[in-house]
Amino acid sequence: MVSRQPYPDSYYAATRNPDPGYPALEGDIECDVCICGGGFTGVATALSLAERGYSVVVLEQHRIGWGASGRNGGQVIGGFSGEALMAKRLGESARDLIWDIGWRGNTIIAERVEKYAIDCDFKYGYMDVALKPRHMRAFEAYHAELLRRGFGDDVRVVQRDEMRSVLGSDAYIGGLINRRSGHLHPLNLCLGEARAAAGLGARLFEGSEVLGIEHGSRPLVRTSAGSVKAASVVLAGNAYQQLEIRHLSGQVFPAGSFIIATEPLERDLAQQINPLDMAFCDPNHVLDYFRMSADRRLLFGGRCNYSGRVPSSIRRSIEPRMHRVFPQLRNTRIDYEWGGNIGIVVNRVPVIGRLRDNVYYSLGYSGHGVNMTHAAGEIVADAIGGTLQKMDLFERVGHWRIPFGQSLSAQMVALGMLYYRLLDRL
């Protein structure tokens, strides 16, 4: 076993379940599918494939769940941001399948938590909260669609006069509760799925950066100390993707997102703030999101930026936003502060497809990564098995490729986001 670097400091890293760790790749091996990236996309794909009897190798540069998969808000939200645009481009015949894909990840997660006894604090209960009347109008229209789709009593609109019964804040004018979405400890979910995949024969390697891929009928994936020859390769790096840049650059951009965690709250205060123990998110482009951890800490995040710069103090950046929503927490200690990059796509449609017949990629979930990585893992596994219907949908959408290289492209996207920040204020 090689010496493994620690996870970045976070509440999740401090409370992760014991994990066995995985060695670095040494020597030359072969398999059916080699997956480059050990976050949710890579691990979810590996488990989908291992369940179907494929021999799988996962190569992770750092640790399993090291990136956004182990540092995100822990919100399991159905659907994805680019769903309406995707349906508009592909037509009415694709709308139902796109809807099913958007909710498939939630189902996969719930099934795996139960099947593999993954201890990750999974709990149903989520609410979109409105800051403005136009937000409420959008929620009411979405509520009607959810009812049409059979969600029944799992969803309901909450008006201003009811808000205090579901949230201890006066910051919002209403919202939409959805009990088919929820929240969990994301790092523990990722580690639990990795353990399940390994139990089915998948071989996972940490500290094994992929240096390059030699393409062919059986691609060769090289690291500094070994190689993997496989029938198929999956690129699963998301915001940290550095492979096949010539083909994938300019489509997915890293955006920083940051979170703080309070000290454990007294039971009465936690009950006052979040009586139904739900996750919450507002609809702004520069949004706030929050939920309660299993040990009654408020986890509050947001401040998405495209500058590539981490705030000099994440706490000083996020804490005032938390206090605006929950002034009753002004004297509450902050125990953890952390951040990381998520993968953003300009049109918010995940970038899923093939470079060649045997090299696949999936990245760019634009804030819906917990859910959509699991749906994407199944889509990629289906495609490797010869069922391309769902992958073809994503390949047909097409993505804007912003030129001039990753760094300058990200700056151009940041300028574009100024427009959306102005919209948030209207």
Q: Kindly report, residue by residue over 175-191, the tens digit of the pLDDT.
A: 999 999 999 999 999 99
Compute the distance between CA of residue 332 and CA of residue 93 in angstroms, rounded to an integer: 52
Q: Kindly report, residue by residue over 298-339, the tens digit of the pLDDT.
A: 999 987 666 556 788 999 999 999 999 999 999 999 999 999
Q: Is pLDDT above 60 for 408?
A: no
Residues whose CB falls within 8 Å of the CB of residue 138, separated by 6 or more in sequence, listed in order: 283
pLDDT-derived band at 119, boundaries 50, 70, 90: very high
Which amino acid type is present at position 138? Answer: A
Q: Is pLDDT above 60 for 1?
A: no
Q: Is pLDDT above 60 for 55?
A: yes
According to the model, what pLDDT value does residue 413 have? 53
Question: Mean per-residue pLDDT for 237-256?
Answer: 76
Q: Is pLDDT above 90 for 403?
A: no
pLDDT-derived band at 61, boundaries 50, 70, 90: very high
Between 164-178, 220-234, 282-296, the lowest mean confidence (pLDDT) is in 282-296
Which amino acid type is present at position 122? Answer: F
Q: φ and ψ at 146, to 5 degrees?
A: -60, -40
Q: What percent of the chain has pLDDT over 70?
A: 90
Between 19-23, 207-211, 389-393, the lowest mean confidence (pLDDT) is in 19-23
Q: Is pLDDT above 70 for 148?
A: yes
pLDDT-derived band at 412, boundaries 50, 70, 90: low
Question: Per-residue DSSP letters for 408-420?
Answer: HHHHHHHHHHHHH
pLDDT-derived band at 419, boundaries 50, 70, 90: very low
**Mean pLDDT, rounded, of the chain:** 91
The structure tokens listed for 164 are 């205090």
Residues whose CB falls within 8 Å of the CB of residue 69, separated by 6 or more in sequence, listed in order: 39, 40, 41, 43, 186, 187, 190, 369, 373
Give pTM, 2 decimals: 0.93
Cβ pair 318, 336 in contact under 8 A = no
Among 220-224, 246-250, 399-403, the range of highest mean pLDDT: 220-224
Compute the distance between CA of residue 289 and CA of residue 131 in angstroms, rounded to an integer: 13
Compute the distance between CA of residue 272 and CA of residue 371 in angstroms, rounded to an integer: 29
According to the model, what pLDDT value does residue 44 have? 98
Strands 220-222 and 212-214: antiparallel
DSSP H or E run through 75: strand 75-76
DSSP H or E run through 180: strand 174-183
Which neighbouring-strand residues pair with 356?
A: 359
Compute the distance between CA of residue 250 and CA of residue 407 in angstroms, rounded to an integer: 9
